[in-house]
Structure 1
Amino acid sequence: MPATARPYVLLSCATSIDGYIDDASEQRLMLSNADDLDRIDEVRAGCDAILVGAATVRRDNPRLLIRDPDRRATRVARGLPASPAKVTLTARGDLDPAARFFTEGEAERLVYCPPAVAERTRDRLAGLATVVAAGDPVDPAAVLADLGNRGVRRLMVEGGGRVHAQFLMAGLADELHLVVAPFFVGDGRAPRFVRDGRFPWHSERRARLTEVRQIGDVVLLRYGLSDRCGD
């Protein structure tokens, strides 16, 4: 696949039975279990980059690193970094340079933002990441084009809901891994998987269910969203 081709985009999300990705408290809601987190680590290890929104960087302070040492070693043996590149999208450039996204691991870090805040964001991050202007609002297609030019062939998008919705509504997702946890949140203040919008998949054009897998007390639903997704 040429380096300039659009990367394969895999969306990954865990929700409650009623479709929430968190609750309304200040503490992060754990939806996955240990076995599923290991599955996610394996999927990450097969990707070139992992993308989350700036709100996820601020709220969850993720490391976005491969946890398993054998998986890291396998990547290094293939001539790859131990962990995939880290990518985030921000509208305001309001990112904390002390966040683990920037301070942990040796992976390349990329920040996409509107042109008006690009210079301020570069100054704020002081060399901790490559800052790229990618439209106002940030255009997922422009992000993918730039990532493709940087050699990213497989991108894992881990949220949050707004970012997932952007890629889905733009028709730029090839595959969805949706994990359903066995409980309800039941609080309209909490964030959902996606908000209202016009999506390419609807009652007359259904996504293709390619796998159903029980992982302990959660269920993985894997959907093919484009012809690029094999079974």
Structure 2
Amino acid sequence: MTKRPYVICHMVPSVDGRIVTDGWRLPHGLLAEYERTAASFQADAWIIGRISMEPYAGKARLPASTRGARLPRTDFVARSDAPSYAVAIDPGGKLRWESAAIDGEHAVTVLTEQVPDRYLAFLRARGVSYLFGGKSRIDVPTVLRKLRSRFGIRRLLLEGGGKINGSFLAAGVIDELSVLVAPVADGGVGTPTLFDAREGPGPARHLKLVSVERRRGDLLWVRYRIRSSGHR
């Protein structure tokens, strides 16, 4: 059976689990502290959703149409020897990549088979690798196995929004949780949280505490392992 990467969810929530930082007046140096703790994992790649990736991807123009035979719905690997990878989950093919790399990290996008041919042609022309995660919905375990087999990714940082993180949690594929708790009590209602898997009772996962460390700016770095994550 094909192995998948070891998945570490690394986030900066408030003490009440909210993750939208607008209006928080965050401590000076929080971003640098977040990057330092993230780098300590020595991951091969990081993965986020479409909305979070948009500022990095850019706003290149998409061709109006394509001619010729329908492009096959098979994975396209433009590069498999990159030192690291930036992965986006973009089911509908909406990101407008200006480059095939983000700060030297090769771009990989995860699609459904419903994206149009012109978008696939656009990605190929840009040199952006793409994987199909399902016909109409993204199957997270399948995507992880492909990231391992196509690109050799062994350690993956999950840094998404509540829904993407929640989908990984529900699939039982998070191995470790790393939270840099901001010294903020948000108090918002209806804003994204660390995990937003579904309405009603969630896919509760039991955690084992690994470490607790005070960091600059009254930040608290807490690490857990997910019990019975099923990592292979």
TM tier, smaller: 0.7 to 0.9
Higher Rg of the two aligned structures: 2
Aligned to 2:95: 95
Residue type of the alignment partner of 1:105: D
TM-score relative to the length of structure 1: 0.75
Gaps (5+ residues) in structure 1?
Answer: 64-79
Aligned to 1:56: 52
Residue type of the alignment partner of 2:92: R
Deviation at 1:114? 0.6
TM-score relative to the length of structure 2: 0.75
Deviation at 1:18? 1.8
* Post-superposition CA distance 1:66-89 (Å, at most 9, x none): xxxxxxxxxxxxxx855x211111
**2:20 aligned counterpart, secondary structure:** coil
**Equivalent-residue separation in structure 2 for 1:23 and 1:104 (angstroms):** 23
How many residue pairs get matched? Answer: 199
* Post-superposition CA distance 1:43-69 (Å, at most 9, x none): 2xx1111111111112x5389xxxxxx
Aligned to 1:161: 162
Q: For the structure 1 residues 81 and 181, does the alpha-carbon distance in structure 2 shift closer, same or farther, using more than 3 Å as the test?
A: same
- Given the alignment, which residue of 96, 104, 107 partners 1:106? 104
Q: For the structure 1 residues 191 and 48, does the alpha-carbon distance in structure 2 shift closer, same or farther, using more than 3 Å as the test?
A: same
**Share of identical aligned residues, percent?**
26
Q: For the structure 1 residues 195 and 96, does the alpha-carbon distance in structure 2 shift closer, same or farther, using more than 3 Å as the test?
A: same
Residue type of the alignment partner of 1:178: V
Residue type of the alignment partner of 1:142: T
Residue type of the alignment partner of 1:88: A
1:177 paired to 2:178: yes
**1:117 aligned counterpart, secondary structure:** coil
Please say if residues 36 and 215 of structure 1, whose CA atoms lie closer than 8 Å, have aligned partners that are also in contact. no
Gaps (5+ residues) in structure 2?
Answer: 59-80
Deviation at 1:24? 5.7
**Equivalent-residue separation in structure 2 for 1:137 and 1:161 (angstroms):** 17
**Equivalent-residue separation in structure 2 for 1:165 and 1:228 (angstroms):** 14
Flag as ranges the 4+ runs of structure 1 deviating above 4 A: 28-31
* Post-superposition CA distance 1:106-129 (Å, at most 9, x none): 322211111011634323433331
